[in-house]
Copies of this chain bind each other. A is one copy, B any other.
Amino acid sequence: MHLGIDIGGTKTDAVLVSPDGVVLHRHVVPSGKGNGEVVTQAVLAAATVCDAAGISPGDAASVGVGIPGSVLDGVVSHAQNLGITRLDLASSLAEAWGVRPVVDNDVNAGAVGAWVAAGGEARSIAFLNLGTGLAAGLILDGKVWRGARGAAGEIGHISVDPHGPLGPDSLPGGLETYASGSGVALQSGGAPAVQVLAAADTDAGSARIREGLFFGVATAVRLLVLTLDVEEVLLGGGLTRMGEPLLDGTRRVIRGWERNSRFLASVDLTARMSVLDPETPVAAIGAAMRGAGRG
């Protein structure tokens, strides 16, 4: 069994998975804030899920951790939502467990988990995370593509309309402003995404924001497929709890483009896009698989 832990902004999700990524045990606790609490809650989640299986974390075949922020050699920087400026997470957890975990960025871990959850046979996928922020994790040739400075997949900062809504940093029409929890909240004056989307059938302002969400997701899928020609784009993150309406709205935008463009019709974006089950803990699974040397 491989142990994987996804430390998110609100919850820390620990799983024990089989060598092919099937979840055997899972335990979720609230995430801590600040270096000490973040480590404490990760240790708690791991201990509880291992107890359920009658093992200790040191007995797992491998251990992996996913966490927001920049990660280099097990050291996490700039994980603002967790109150972390700099934390040597791998060493802190190694002290608790007696084994040193593989630590990776949560979106990269999510990409590995999404890839494994989709069968692990595609040569290339993009995992489009529609969470508090928007970013993509890339699996190219069966491995995570990180780029020169570990910043690959930061497509949320790409502007796709110079006259679009302003994001943080005054960026107009950024993908993250259209299609993330923080972007929807920014456009709505602070209302959470779930509330804005629920109101969209009756409120014109909310409907406009929802239409922008579909436009943003469709545009991100087009950008990832045309740039990288990945086999599949797998959508995950909190906004995918919208379910079918998200896919329907995104497909409607893409079909509008395809009616005008023979080229885009030939690319067949809708066939290459799917939504992951929001109940599948892809980042925790991916963290476990990273620990086991996959991706």
B171 touches A226 (CB 8 A): no
Tell me which residues from 122 to 157 in chain A have a Cβ below 8 Å from any Cβ of chain B.
Answer: 123-124, 136, 140, 145-155, 157
Closest to A257 in B: B171
Q: A160: CB under 8 A from chain B?
A: yes
Q: A88: CB under 8 A from chain B?
A: no
Chain B: minimal CB distance from A233 (Å): 11
**Among the listed stretches A42-50, A95-103, A216-224, which one makes contact with chain B, having 4 or more residues with CB under 8 Å of it?**
A216-224
A228 touches B169 (CB 8 A): no
Interface string of A44-59 (1 = CB under 8 A from B): 0000000000000000
A207 surroundings in chain B (CB, below 8 A): none
Say which size band chain A's interface belongs to.
Answer: 35 or more
Q: A202: CB under 8 A from chain B?
A: no
Known: A170-B261, A229-B152. A160 touches B157 (CB 8 A): no
A229 touches B146 (CB 8 A): yes
**Docked complex Cα distance between A152 and B153 (Å):** 15
A229 surroundings in chain B (CB, below 8 A): 146-154
**Docked complex Cα distance between A226 and B123 (Å):** 22
B157 touches A263 (CB 8 A): yes
A124 touches B148 (CB 8 A): yes
**Docked complex Cα distance between A62 and B262 (Å):** 38
B158 touches A161 (CB 8 A): no
A155 surroundings in chain B (CB, below 8 A): 226-227
Q: A230: CB under 8 A from chain B?
A: yes
A223 touches B152 (CB 8 A): no
Copies of this protein, total? 2
A154 surroundings in chain B (CB, below 8 A): 226-227, 229
Q: A200: CB under 8 A from chain B?
A: no
Q: A231: CB under 8 A from chain B?
A: yes
Query: Which one of B123, B159, B226, B228 lies within 8 Å of A219 (CB-CB)?
Result: B159
B140 touches A123 (CB 8 A): no
**Docked complex Cα distance between A43 and B11 (Å):** 65
Query: Which one of B157, B169, B171, B261 lies within 8 Å of A171 (CB-CB)?
Result: B261
A261 surroundings in chain B (CB, below 8 A): 157, 169-171
A124 touches B140 (CB 8 A): no
Closest to A169 in B: B261
A151 surroundings in chain B (CB, below 8 A): 226, 229, 267
Given contacts A157-B261, A158-B226, A163-B163, 20 further A-B contacts (CB under 8 A): A123-B148, A146-B229, A147-B230, A148-B230, A151-B226, A152-B227, A155-B226, A155-B227, A157-B226, A158-B222, A158-B223, A159-B219, A159-B222, A169-B260, A169-B261, A170-B261, A171-B261, A171-B264, A227-B227, A228-B228
